[in-house]
Structure 1
Amino acid sequence: MNTLENPKWPRSRKSIHSPMGESSPPSRQSPISAQKPLNRSKPSYSEDDSDNELDSFDRSGKIGSLNTTRSSNRSSHEFIEHEQIVTTRTRRTANDDSYRYNEERKLEISRTETTTSDPKIIYLAVLIAAILVGIAMYIIIPAKSLPTKRIECPQFKELMQYFNNQDITLWKSLKVNIENVVNQTPAAPSVFLLAYHDAATSKNVMAKILNATANCMKSNDPIQLDGGTFATDAMIQDYGEIITAYRKRLENEGIMYVADLHKLPAAAAQAFHTICDTFTPFVERSVIFFSMYVDQYDGKDMSPKKIHYLVETQLENNWNDINHNTLKALIGRITDQVFLLHSEKLLID
């Protein structure tokens, strides 16, 4: 086979008559260079080439646009997936927090209900509170003001049997009020005025009442005075002398008896506005007795209301030189409890 007849190399037209007299071997050129001569001048394009390039540009543009769209779609899809993941995680976190809060709230309510509904816990709390209150009361209130047993005064029931002509309410009132003076804390004075028309009955009955009261109140020497005792110049000029003179003794004994109140001078009588004060006591644990003669005595109609009226009227007449308002207040305190002593046929010495 002839090597010059290689099909890959095109045959060139050669002149039979070569100037050199020999034929030169064909130059090796690429197929492209063999077909188109090398031209270094500015290329010129034809319409077909432009259309081809434009078509190529359109195709490349469409491809690029398609790639861009696909990239954008992919980015959007990835963003949406990311948002969905974030939203899902946020919802899960919120749900977890809500669930955890609800569980903690249920546990707290359960503990509260258990604490408040358990009868043993409630009983224990009440018991502890009662113990604390008891301790506080024991510390605050002195032990001597809390008597272990209430003191009774049965002596007045015995007197009721001896003096059966007297009003039964007298003995009941004496018993109840004197027992209150002895037992109550804080205590308040108790004031009695016993009107009489029979002086002998008054003397005997009052002696027995004072003795029973002294036994109940553990008094050794009750204060016993007469209305005329206060008719001194010092006490008339200054009734404060009475308060100063008898205060300490009244605190020790707790009993004062003033007989024949109608003999007491008006100026000195004002001292008993203080001594008989039950709202601001002069001496808390004290019992004040008065006896008073009434001249307008009617054995048929001597009701408690009538005797009270007679006593007030007589005292107003005796002490009319005292200021009216002061006199009303004074008489009101002295006549806190008024009883009439009826005559007794048989008197106990």
Structure 2
Amino acid sequence: MNILFAAIKKEIRQLKRNVSLLVIIGASPLLIMGIIPFSIEKRVKISLSVVDCDNSAASRIMTYRVKASPYFVKVTEMERVEEALDRVKENKSDMVMILPEKMERDAGEVEAAPLSIALDGTHTLNAQSHFAFLEQMLQYDLSEGEIPSQLHQNLLFNPSLDGRMWFIVSLLVLLVTLIGACLVTLDIVSEKESGIWEQLQATPLSLTVYIVSKMVVFAVAGLFVLGVGLLLCHSFFGFALAGRWYVFWLLALAFLWPMLMIGIGIASISKNQVQAIYLLVFVLLTIILMSSMFSFLNAMPGWARATRFVNPLYFMLDASRLVALKGFSLADVWSQFAALCIQGAVLSVLIFRRMERTK
């Protein structure tokens, strides 16, 4: 135990002398949590072109109702359908609403011309959300062609529809991911380049104590960065955890285990920092893009969804959103917590064996 404490003290002193790592620890929460959420718009803003071919009281009411909505920031009335479609092609409008002739007169009839909507489908999620907002605003059933009854809507967990809250949780997890994997990798590789690695192998310091000391120090660094990120989110955006704070921190600690082992594994096969950075970029980009951070799990094909069982970032994102946004307890996210611990244990065994062979 005394050897472990001495190794931890050595890691702390070495970290203090490494200015670049200290800059990363201090600047990463400010850059990620202090700048990126400001670039995320709170409300959906849609640019709409309206072609009113009916010029009736009903068509004007629909146009005025859309103009009064806070979601439609720019509503342009056009005379010809071709001109409105050209605006979508030129990215000047997101969608076109075409009100047909004799719409008011033929309302309710079977052969009535339907109201038409043309959307820019290059971004699938945006197109779906834009259509949903317009349909809700008009309260118009496009499939049946008639006005439905009033619908009561109750928004749970996020009544203000502030989309930044979802991304803030993802950014917090991304922050812990980068700190957990990158710092320990760069630290070990710098020891290899400076010759400290070979000198430590000549001492009685065991490989287990060496790795555990690094995991303890950089796990504390990761939790510190997470705390700073939560403080910035609360100060700038009023974000507060819906669940218990210690549950979120326990999840972060369990998540740091496999991420630190991934970083140590990358450092063990890297000869210099250039190789380490290339491997870090490849591995982190892969697990981030396959973790449902930027896409929904149901939108992925079957083979891509299956990769989540070996991706620690997926389990951390899933559990963090449940705890931070919906107030789940540790018992509710126990399966994700156990999966993170199992992945950490498996990676520890594999990496320990690999480093023992190459020592």
TM range (shorter): under 0.3
Q: TM-score, normalised by structure 1?
A: 0.22
Report the structure, 1 or 2, having the larger helix content. 2
Q: TM-score, normalised by structure 2?
A: 0.22
Larger radius of gyration: 1
